[in-house]
Amino acid sequence: MMILDKDIKIFADGADINSIKSLVKNPIINGFTTNPTLMRSAGVIDYAEFASEVLKLVSPMPVSFEVFADEFDEMLVQSKKIASWGSNVFVKIPVTNSRGDLSTDLIKKLNSENIKLNITAIFTVEQARLVIDSISSEVPSVISVFAGRIADTGIDPMPIMHEIKQLMKNRSYLELLWASPREILNIVQAKQCGCDIITVPPAILSKLGSLGKDHNEFSLETVKMFYDDAVKSGYSIG
C-alpha cells in the first residue's frame, strides 16, 4: 500500500482479544496499545490475566499497558509490576493525574530505573517539552500526543506534531506517536509530521483497503452501492 512502509509504524489500539488474535497475523501491524477505557469497553475484568493473554499473543512485538492509580506513589508500584511482565512492555503513564499534577518526577524516576515508558494523553507542546526534559537516560520511550482529540477542538494538530518532533531531535531513543486517529488521512498526516508511530483502532484499520484507491473507481463503487440498496429495498416514487 502507498504509505504503509518502514517510515511509520502502525500499532493496533484496542483490548478485544479476538481482534488482537486476528491483527497479530497482519504484517502491517508493528505493535499494540491499550488503556483502561478500552479494556472496560471490551469487558476485561482481571487486568493481569488480560495482560498475560495479550503478551502470549503479541510477543515479541511492543505492547503498552497503562497504570490506573491516581497517586504517584501507587503509579510507581504499578509501573514496576507492569514492567516486570516482559522486555517488550512499555508502561503507559498519563502526563498528569486526575488533579492535573504533572507526572514528570515519576517519569524521571522510572526512566532512571530503565523502565520503558509510553507517556500518554499529551495535548500541548509545553507538556511534551516537560516530558522530554524528564527523560535523560537513553531508554526507549514513546511520546503519545492525542492529535485526533486536538483536531476535535477545531485545531490543526500537524504544526503541534512538527514542533514536538523538533524537540525530540537527536534523541533516537524517543519516538513520537500520533494517538486517537479519526480517519485514514491521519496516517498520511502522521507520516508527513515525522511521527514514528500511529495507533489505529480496528474500525479504521478496516478502511485500509481504500488507501490509494483511484477516486473515479471509488465514485463508481459508491454509485453502485446506492443503486443496489435502492433496488434491494424495492423503493418507488409516486
> In this structure, what DSSP letter does residue 203 have?
H
Q: Scanning the structure block, which residue is given the C-alpha cell 498475560?
A: 52
* Residues annotated as catalytic (active site), given as ranges: 92
Give the C-alpha separation, 87 to 24, whole Å: 18
Q: Is the peptide bond before 60 cis (omega within 30 degrees of 0)?
A: yes
**In the chain, helix, strand, coil percent, each to 5?**
45, 20, 40
Are the CB atoms for 189 and 156 separated by under 8 Å? Answer: no
| Cell output for 83 | 514492567
Are the CB atoms for 203 and 181 separated by under 8 Å? Answer: no
CB atoms within 10 A of CB 189: 20
Mapping DSSP to helix (H, G, I), strand (E, B) and coil, where does residue 33 land?
strand
- What distance separates the 2 farthest-apart alpha carbons in the chain? 75
In order, the DSSP letters of 140-178 are: -EEEEE-HHHHHHTT--SHHHHHHHHHHTTT-TTEEEEE
Task: Please give the single-letter amino acid code of residue 36.
Answer: P
